[in-house]
Structure 1
Amino acid sequence: MPERSHRRRALADPERIGVPYHPPSSSSENAGNGGNVDRVLFKNLVEMVPLVESLMGRRSTSSFTRRASMVYTPAPSHPPKVDMKARRTAQSVYAKKQSDVGDSALQKFAHDGDGVADDCRTFTSNPSTAGDLLKAREDVTMLRQQLDDLERKILEKDQALKVAEDSLNQMKAIKMQLDELKHQAAEKDSLIKVSNSQLSNAQIKLAEKQAVLEKLEWEAKTSNTKVEELQAGLDCMDFEIAALMQLFEELSKCDSATDPDNITMFHQVDHLPHIDDLDEAAIKKMEDARMAYATALAAAKENPSEESLTSVAEARVRLQAFVL
């Protein structure tokens, strides 16, 4: 309460605090009653409010033993070159805003109790302070809006950052899975290469074994051919031996003459009756069988197939039938 009384005394006596006093006009007396407000007085009120607030908030201390009047030196303004139409529009909007804010501020001051009307009259006595107050309030409102926008943007950025972190974690997990898949694929590729190498070695070994088998088959065929040749030669020798044995038997059956020295005298072979009487048909068949055997043997030498070998065997059997 003492502080509030001090503030009232300071507002009641503006010359005491170094603020020039401007007597209120007749229109400003109606501010407490909610009537129309003079624009000049309203501007003075708005410009005076920041100074009054600073003075009301200051406490007397030992450091400030003396008080002096405050001097306000406005900075030189250099208005930019803008379009006159846009400038008039901006000024009209700004004036409208000032009037609206001023009306609300005056109504608030008028309906506030316990000495607010006196403060309002004091504010209206200094138009520069009222303008500063209105400007400060506009700046505060603008700063609050900017702060709200910044908080909203920060919240959006936090959400976007959280989404980005989640996406980054997902990308890391996907990258880990991809690396694992690459590792597995590399292992499978190495296994495939090893399997291909083993398959190639097996194919080479199989080709070598097949070549060896073909060589053995060729050697077997060659051996069979040689065996057939030897068998044919043996059959021919058997046939010749059999023929010679038969000839000797025929010769032994012929009549022989014995001399006193037991020397057997044979007749001439050309005049042997048994040889002359031999069956020409049987000899011809034996010769045909021998020729057929020789032909089959020659064909088997040129083409050692199963059919040729069978023909050789059949011809040999027929020839052996005549000899034996």
Structure 2
Amino acid sequence: MRTLLTPQAFFDPATWTVTYVVADPDTGYAAIIDPVLDYDFKSGCTGTASADRVLDYIGKQGLRVEWILETHAHADHLSGARYLKANAGGKIAIGEHIRAVQSTFRAIFNLERSFALDGSQFDHLFKDGETFRIGSMEMSALHVPGHTPADMAYLAGDAVFVGDTLFMPDVGTARADFPGGDARQLYRSMHKLLLLPAETRVFVCHDYPPGERAPQWETTVGEQRKANIHVRDGISEDAFVATRVARDATLDMPTLILPSIQVNIRAGGLPPPEDNGVSYLKIPVNTFGVA
């Protein structure tokens, strides 16, 4: 197994999100994984400070962006993919099951009739097991549903980028109660990842550190199997499902779920402007949970 150089990580403390730049040292081609578009919930204003940090790094390193990879349509941050493509190039890609997510949320948000449900907002839709290249470096796209129907992980050499499927061992695993989520699917997806060699490095998309621990985002398959509080070795599927369902019932909705999903199913694009030239994000009333 080829050893991948340590990716450059960019932690966004506002959303607890980690964006990665993965580069092929032989060619200078790179991929950006799970970029962030800043969003102020109170004012409705977007910003690009997080994405500009990535652009600054890419420029200083002389990298050429070949891919902008989304692990799924995130519910906790808006995607900066469209902005990064406009300023650095690259193809925006996600798993092919994004179509199911688009269908679900077009109905929930009653989106415009012209909103396509075929994933065409993205430049490429990965199938499970599909391989692709960043320069001379091969990567694989792995379908890992459960958190959402469309979650993907990206494997490159001895490193796997797991999105929200796994968190750091002392945090556990992603929730499975969003539309289309499924705790049993999540358990099976995590075990698909945990069958990788124990030394495989695991890079998570978020960290919500307990206690006084500083944010972290790198672990290993072996550490996950030994210590993950929700899915370590010896925890059965039924036990995990019972724990996950009970915990999910206590969780609040993510602060940015309503604006973020509307943007992220559009590959980081805003809804089309209305006749006054302004784009609007919808808030469905009395649709999710109770006040």
- Range of TM-score over shorter length: under 0.3
Q: Which has the larger radius of gyration?
A: 1
More strand by share: 2
Q: Which has the higher helix share?
A: 1
Normalised by the length of structure 2, the TM-score is: 0.21
Scaled by the length of structure 1, what TM-score is found? 0.20
